[in-house]
Structure 1
Amino acid sequence: MTSVDDAIPLLVCDDSSMARKQLIRSLPANWPFRVSQAENGVLGLELIRSGRGRIVLLDLTMPELNGFEVLARVRDEGLQAEVIVISGDVQEEAIRRARALGARAFLRKPVAAPELEAALLALGMNPAPAALQHHSQHPLPSVSFHDALRELSNIAMGRAAELLGRALKVFVHLPIPNVNLLEPGELQMALSDAQGNQQVSAICQGYIGGGVAGEALLIFHDSAIADVAGLLDTKLDASSHPELLLDLAAIITGACLNGLSEQLGLQLSLGHPLLLGQHCTIDELIRLNRPRWKQTLAVEISYGLEDHDIHFDLMLLFTESSVERLQQRVELLL
């Protein structure tokens, strides 16, 4: 029988309780792990220093210290840790950077149990045939609906960023998505906070399917559009401006909603994109579209392009009546 001293210290470092729960459940049942958890990079680094992360399953998009920063600290401090990155950021550049910083493997979320076991075996570990305990006995974090939807959105936005980065040939910085149930006034405040007083253009695209409905609102600074046109070697004029907005919306909104649909097991149909406002302020956009926005479950994602002052804000606005259906789908996943 394997003793406690022979157990393999494994750290799951991810800000999402849903991701941590899924990873712990995906661990090989016959491996003698002693599992620790960290919800941010700072705590994760402390646990690695204390010897509780001989193997580390590491997310990239986290508060305090992100995964790239954790990898850099592990390398610079000479810490003994075999790191497997498991991330929703699937850009080729993200994979390259993680490996350059010492990651032994890179797995895409959501990871399947056979993929995880193969990555663990590739580390050269030789688990004893008699396990110390089955991984189901490890404490599992509780997962709220908001945290689950945030993690699903994190994976979906990563797919959109991969397409966007490839189209623009840049690295896309990904945020931690915000998920909130907002009244109309609170939604207006969120929009104003996101964009300030600059002139903006906005594209709206409705979606519906499987008892879920809503609108995707994609907002651009006008100054950013000119820079994006430069990245694409596109001449920007009055006629090409709306066309460029619609092309970007097709990439960002389409990929993000498709990613959510696949994870939730829903078939969402997208409506035709509409230009809600062009060269206007957020206040004007709100005034023009206030009747459209009731109480809504809002997922807010802000994309930024590395080495460029370019930011996009994507808001997925689910109708209030969609929440119960979304909760049902999330419960099935958990």
Structure 2
Amino acid sequence: MSQIPLLVCDDSGMARKQLIRSLPADWPFRITQAVNGIEGLEAIRQGDGQVVLLDLTMPELDGFGVLSQLREEGLAAEVIVVSGDVQDEAVRRAKALGARAFIKKPADPLQLAAALDDLGLTIELQATDDASPAAPEMPQVSFRDAFREVSNVAMGRAAELLGRVLGVFIKLPIPNVNILEVGELHMTLADAQNDRQLSAICQGYIGGGIAGEALLIFHDSEIEDIARLLHARNDENSHLEMQLDLASIIIGACLNGLSEQLNINLSQGHPMVLGQHCPIDDLIRINQRRWKRTLAVEISYSLEELDVHFDLLLLFTEDSVPRLREILDFMLD
């Protein structure tokens, strides 16, 4: 039987599992998996990636780097990008580097089938017999991996909206997901501060057995740069209003992305100021009773070609974790 070598290149086991399950059942794929761009390139060089389903946000080498290297080496691969980074500029750059299609995460099976069909491989399929290829090995997915992938998709939705508001390209990180004690949270925020003054906006959320607080941290030295992007007035009141508006945009879009994927309704409170122009020790001292043991998602949005970034922390209560595990287990089964 003539099988089509297909590579699924994504650092998330949950994303790879979802993609493999979404593939058309009647296509005879021989599936290989890679967890970063370096592994993915090596698999393509070895002939395991005639078709590639490629993530953009990965460690070691991201999807843009993979596409650039494919072009530089003249490697033959039909690439379909499947990404949580859905900014118009991300789509444009991926296609300019040779991607044949772009599908937002989580991939819709019908869109994936249509993109595969557009590759022009159907003639080869008609020549195959009725035997089925061996079932691919499914990746093992931990709670941390699954929740990181859900957060990654939500993060991308927020970045797309933020990029449109600011008129810039947002560079996305890989979300960091950990269970933190208050002391560890202190260290995390101290790393974010890096000896600079901070302002922070907090917004609570609750629903479906899940509750927590989102914390958006601004570095004071960057506020004027953001104000210029938004053509805002350069005064204290205008800066505060701008931070509250941006917090509502970023936190709201991220929580909506989580709600959609987890199939719950997270009601959001009003953004409120936690600290202005204060060192991190004061911020922790003021709020340490609110944050005990927590599931923390750390996301740092950077603005391309500008020394500006926003640190977003999603802090879920300890009681939320069993419910989140239940939802994610259902999504994976």
TM-score range, shorter chain: over 0.9
Structure-2 separation of matches of 1:21 and 1:49:
23
Q: Report the Cα offset of residue 283 of structure 1.
A: 1.6
- Letter in structure 1 aligned against 2:220: D
- Structure 1 distance, partners of 2:157, 2:62, is 19
- Once the two structures are TM-superposed, the CA of residue 132 in structure 1 deviates from its matched residue by 4.3
Which position in structure 1 is the counterpart of 2:25?
29
Q: Percent identity of the aligned residues?
A: 66
| Aligned residue among 211, 214, 217 for 2:215 | 217
- Residue matched to 1:89: 85
SS state at 1:57 partner: strand
Matched, 1:288 2:289: no
Q: TM-score, normalised by structure 2?
A: 0.97
- For the 8 Å contact 1:90–1:108, the answer to whether it is kept is yes
Among 264, 267, 273, the alignment partner of 1:266 is: 264
Q: CA RMSD in A?
A: 1.0
Distance, in Å, in 1 between the alignment partners of 2:150 and 2:164 is: 22
1:204 match? 202
Query: 5+ residue gaps in structure 1?
Result: none
2:216 & 2:10 partners in 1: Cα distance? Answer: 28
Q: 2:61 aligns with which of 59, 65, 88?
A: 65
Superposed, which structure 2 residues align to 1:110-121 within 5 Å? Answer: 110-121=106-117
Alignment partner, residue 118 of structure 2: 122
Q: Deviations over 1:95-142 (max 9, x none)?
A: 00000000000000011111101000000011236454257x111001
Q: Which amino acid aligns with 2:209?
A: G
CA contact (8 A) 1:212 1:318 kept: yes
For the residues of structure 2 that align with 1:132 and 1:27, how far apart are their CA atoms? 17
Whole-angstrom CA distance in 1 between matches of 2:200 and 2:314? 13
| Corresponding pairs, count | 329
The Cα of 1:288 is off from its aligned counterpart by: 1.3
Which residue of structure 2 lines up, in the alignment, with residue 133 of structure 1?
132
Aligned with 2:289: secondary structure?
helix
Provide the secondary structure at the position in 2 that maps to 1:260. Answer: helix
Q: Tell me, in whole angstroms, the C-alpha distance in 2 between the residues paired with 1:73 and 1:169.
A: 28
Q: Are the aligned partners of 1:31 and 1:131 in contact in 2 as well (CA < 8 Å)?
A: no
Please show how residues 31-180 of structure 1 align to structure 2 within 5 Å.
Answer: 31-126=27-122, 127-128=125-126, 130-133=129-132, 137-180=135-178
| Alignment check: 8 A CA contact 2:302 2:309 kept | yes
What is the alpha-carbon distance in structure 1 between the residues aligned to residue 89 and residue 114 of structure 2? 23
User: What secondary structure is seen at the aligned counterpart in 2 of 1:297?
Assistant: strand
* Counterpart-to-counterpart distance in 2, 1:195 and 1:265: 34
Deviations along 1:57-105, one digit per CA (max 9) or x if unpaired, are: 0000000000000000001100010000000000000000000000000
Give deviations 1:138-163, integer Å, cap 9, x for gaps.
Answer: 11001111100000000000000000
Q: After TM superposition, what 4+ stretches of structure 1 lie above 6 angstroms from structure 2? A: none
Q: In the alignment, what sits opposite 1:8?
A: 4
Q: Following superposition of structure 1 onto structure 2, how do residues 184-203 of structure 1 map, counting pairs within 5 Å?
A: 184-203=182-201
Q: CA deviation at 1:224?
A: 1.5
CA distance in 2, matches of 1:238, 1:143: 47
TM-score of the superposed pair, with normalisation by structure 1: 0.97
Contact 1:9–1:52 (CA<8 Å) still a contact in 2? Answer: yes
Measure, in 2, the Cα distance between the counterparts of 1:273 and 1:238. 17
1:130 and 1:118 mapped to 2: Cα distance? Answer: 22
